[in-house]
Amino acid sequence: MTPDLSFWTMQTLNALQLSMLLFLLSVGLTVIFGLMHFVNLAHGALYALGAYFAATLASHAGFWVALLLAPLGVAVVGMALYGGLIQRMRKSGPMAQVLVTFGLIFVLLDLTRIFWGDLALAITPPAILAGRVDILGVGYPAYRLFIIALGLGIFAALALILSRTQIGAMIRAGVDNDDMAACMGINVERLFFIVFCVGCGLAGLAGAVAAPLLSVTPGMGLEILIPTLIVIVIGGLGSLKGAIAGSLIYGFVQTFGAVLLPGVASILIYALLAAVLLLKPVGLFPAKG
């Protein structure tokens, strides 16, 4: 086997694509954590829900409608969760919150089984993204490029919102120091609500985007949960920078590990996680020093 330039180009794109998918998932989770100090383990289940919403919507109204409405649907579910559970759990310790969201995983998993059955579903990508685009002599699937572009777009948008807008400043203040944020007259409850719903919406978006690429199964939420947690822990909790760095590290290690070190591919990422935590016990770019 003689891997040439086009081979490495393709693998780099594969790594980027995986990174961007993980970024969409992890950014919501990490900002929610930074702001509200709790890990929403049900984030993966919301991602699965996004994929199922998208699968149903796509079969009735087409892919683009699904891509637009599925994240909104998941955001609405997020609102209900916030009002019904999360808000009441704000004052409880992190263990209680972990448990509640763990319970939510069970509930959401079985609900998807009840509504959509155990059989895997799939969506076909829209015709415009079905073909391949030539990049440096490599015919790369247009849909995967779309994921890369979408991920980068969302990253740029979030970076802008965080650095340039008032709500971004509030979020940064909140992540830095919630007491101070409350003193500054920020309506913390409203801020949490918005961030939580947007985070859920992003998880739904990731699910909708992943659906044409992967198969839609009830277990997909649980499968993606661990990679997402690894991403945010390697990156450091609470920061956009950490989410993108963690996603890129995960994507590249996973992709090139599979190619270069196939024998240890399955433990490579765990070994990396352990190594990062050994050297930097709070990840690479935590929001707080």
- In the window 128-187, what residues touch other proteins (CB under 8 A)? 130, 132, 139-141, 143-144
CB of 240: closest distance to other proteins in angstroms? 18
Q: Helical H runs in the chain?
A: 5-36, 43-61, 63-81, 87-89, 94-116, 142-164, 166-176, 178-183, 188-210, 220-235, 240-260, 265-279
Interface with other proteins by CB under 8 A: which range of 156-164, 168-176, 179-187, 213-221? 213-221
- Residue closer to other proteins, measured from CB, 92 or 187: 92
237 binds other proteins (CB under 8 A): yes
List of residues 6+ apart from 56 with CB closer than 8 A:
66, 116
CA separation (Å) from 58 to 1, 28, 110? 40, 24, 22
Q: CA 137 to CA 140: how far, in whole Å?
A: 9
CB of 258: closest distance to other proteins in angstroms? 5
Binding residue count for other proteins, defined by CB under 8 A: 83
In the numeric block, which tokens belong to residue 151?
A: 């991920």
- Residue closer to other proteins, measured from CB, 74 or 147: 147
Binder of other proteins out of 61, 64, 102, 137 (CB under 8 A): 102
- Residue closer to other proteins, measured from CB, 157 or 180: 180
Q: CA 50 to CA 208: how far, in whole Å?
A: 5
CB of 14: closest distance to other proteins in angstroms? 4
CB of 139: closest distance to other proteins in angstroms? 5
3-state secondary structure of 132: strand
Site for other proteins in 250-269 (CB under 8 A): 254-256, 258-259, 262, 265-267
CB of 165: closest distance to other proteins in angstroms? 27
CB 195 within 8 A of CB 31: yes
92 binds other proteins (CB under 8 A): yes
Q: CA 249 to CA 247: how far, in whole Å?
A: 5
Q: CA 46 to CA 48: how far, in whole Å?
A: 5
Site for other proteins in 16-75 (CB under 8 A): 17-18, 33, 39
127 binds other proteins (CB under 8 A): no
Site for other proteins in 186-205 (CB under 8 A): none
226 binds other proteins (CB under 8 A): yes
CB of 51: closest distance to other proteins in angstroms? 11
CB 244 within 8 A of CB 155: yes
